[in-house]
Structure 1
Amino acid sequence: MRYLGKRLEELRIVDFSPEQEGKIYFGAWVEIENDEGEQKTLRIVGVDEIYDHHPQNISIDSPMARALLSKQVDDEVEVITPLGKKLWYINTIRYEKPENSAN
């Protein structure tokens, strides 16, 4: 309870800003694809939100999110993983939940 009380003091709502249009920032839903045709839909969230059992949520502090920030559709994103570098391409960016998304 003490931990949650302290976290509540630090929380703030981050609203969409028109300057974000077309670029990836906090709260964005991003569809990415690699050369093998693997596709992922991810949402960049705060560290406290990744534990909500939403496999699409990634922490803003993760290597993937840091690589995606400020990028646009059709940009290439290089992500350093434990298995080496992976290259992803950005297909879509939106700030509303995709209609075909689970949950």
Structure 2
Amino acid sequence: MTNLITAAGLKKLQDEYDHLFRVERPKVVQGVADAAAEGDRSENAEYIYGKKRLREIDRKLKHLGSRLKVLKVAAAPANPDKVSFGCWVTYEDEEGNERTWQLVGPDEFDVPEGKISIDSPVGQALLNKRIDDEVTIVRPSGPLTVTILDITSKRPDGK
């Protein structure tokens, strides 16, 4: 697993960690304490659910904490001439359909936002390719051949 992340991705993970630690966890701890004060814990749904939620939060905090320790911020080159970490790449498939993806670390991929992991099969297939290169992406439904149209360090649609 790649330990690279964009600056925006790192901020998002740090914000999630801080929110869980400073807001969610104290709220759940208070809820569990209140439920425990009501008496019989064995049949107290609020207590049981609160303890379960607290374990989930602690597990997520542990995971985020360990990832934040090893992640390295990497930026896309200002004028990339080949596909690399952080770049936005636009390609066209055999049917003329265009797709644009940003290659990011595995901790920040978000397909609806157009961000795919550099470790994914698509990310690996595109890595180090140049404009006009033909690339074969191996998919479960069969190979897909695409042609790289553009490589940029900024999101092409300006979002």
Structure 2-normalised TM-score? 0.58
Percent identity between matched residues is 37
Does residue 65 in structure 1 map to residue 123 in structure 2? yes
- Equivalent position SS for 1:5: helix
Is the contact between residue 75 and residue 85 of structure 2 (CA under 8 Å) also seen in structure 1? no
Structure having the larger proportion of residues in helix: 2
* Residue-pair matches, total: 99
Cα distance in 1 between the residues matched to 2:109 and 2:77: 23
Match of 1:9 in 2: 69
**Rg comparison, structure with higher value:** 2
Match of 2:107 in 1: 48
Is the contact between residue 76 and residue 84 of structure 2 (CA under 8 Å) also seen in structure 1? no
- Equivalent position SS for 2:129: coil
Match of 1:28 in 2: 87
- Tell which has more relative contact order, 1 or 2 (C-alpha 8 A, sep 6+): 1
RMSD of aligned Cα (Å)? 1.8
Segments of 5+ residues of structure 2 without an aligned counterpart are: 1-60
Q: CA deviation at 1:11?
A: 1.2
Cα distance in 2 between the residues matched to 1:38 and 1:75: 16
Cα distance in 2 between the residues matched to 1:60 and 1:42: 10
Segments of 5+ residues of structure 1 without an aligned counterpart are: none
Q: CA deviation at 1:6?
A: 0.8
Per-residue CA shift, 1:51-72, capped at 9, x if unaligned? 4x64311111111110111100
Structure having the larger proportion of residues in strand: 1
Moved over 3 A (4+): none
Match of 1:95 in 2: 153
Distance 1:16 1:42, change over 3 A: closer
- Equivalent position SS for 1:84: coil
Match of 1:80 in 2: 138
